[in-house]
């Protein structure tokens, strides 16, 4: 089993000892685990506080960059967990989510939490993808 850390060069620095993503080769497939992503710029500034649509879009772009580093795409995602500070924003979050997952249709969970790790960040998304080796 081979494990590789994934960390796009233009991403925000990590806030501790973890990887933004890890790919794990298992037989004829590669599993890609993406750490919960929040909408923050490389300098730590939150993106569009209070704008759930803009934050969700930004996060999906970050997820795509991490998946790309492993050779995968958003269509390889099999599971997604979305955390939000306001579940009444479900419609805004889901519109963006549905655009990205139109083909993948992963199993999904959406959970309301009281707070995320950075003030001004209202959405956090983590995914698991599986890619067949060629």
CA distance 116 to 52: 13
pLDDT digits (tens, 9 = 90+) for 69-107: 999 999 999 999 999 999 999 999 999 999 999 999 999
Long-range Cβ pairs for the range 18-26 (8 Å, 24+) = 20/66, 21/66, 21/67, 21/69, 21/70, 23/70, 23/72, 25/1, 25/133, 26/1
Report the Cα 127 to chain-centroid distance in Å.
6
Residue 77 main-chain phi, psi, to 5 deg: -70, 130
The SS3 of residue 119 is coil
Instruction: Quote the pTM value.
Output: 0.91
pLDDT digits (tens, 9 = 90+) for 2-59: 888 787 776 666 666 677 888 898 989 999 999 999 999 988 899 999 999 999 999 9
Q: Which domains does the chain have, with CATH numbers?
A: 2-132 (3.30.1330.40)
């Amino acid at each position: 089993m081979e494990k590789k850390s994934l960390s796009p060069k233009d991403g925000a620095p990590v806030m501790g000892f973890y990887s933004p993503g890890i790919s794990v080769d298992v037989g004829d497939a590669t599993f890609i685990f993406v750490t919960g992503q929040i909408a923050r710029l490389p300098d730590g500034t939150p993106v569009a506080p209070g704008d759930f649509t803009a934050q969700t879009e930004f996060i999906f772009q970050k997820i795509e960059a991490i998946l790309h580093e492993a050779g995968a795409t958003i269509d390889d995602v099999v599971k997604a967990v979305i955390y939000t500070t306001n579940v009444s924003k479900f419609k805004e979050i889901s519109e963006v989510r549905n655009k990205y997952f139109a083909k993948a249709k992963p199993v999904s969970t959406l959970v309301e939490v009281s707070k995320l790790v950075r003030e001004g960040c209202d959405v956090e998304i983590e995914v698991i993808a599986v890619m067949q080796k060629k």
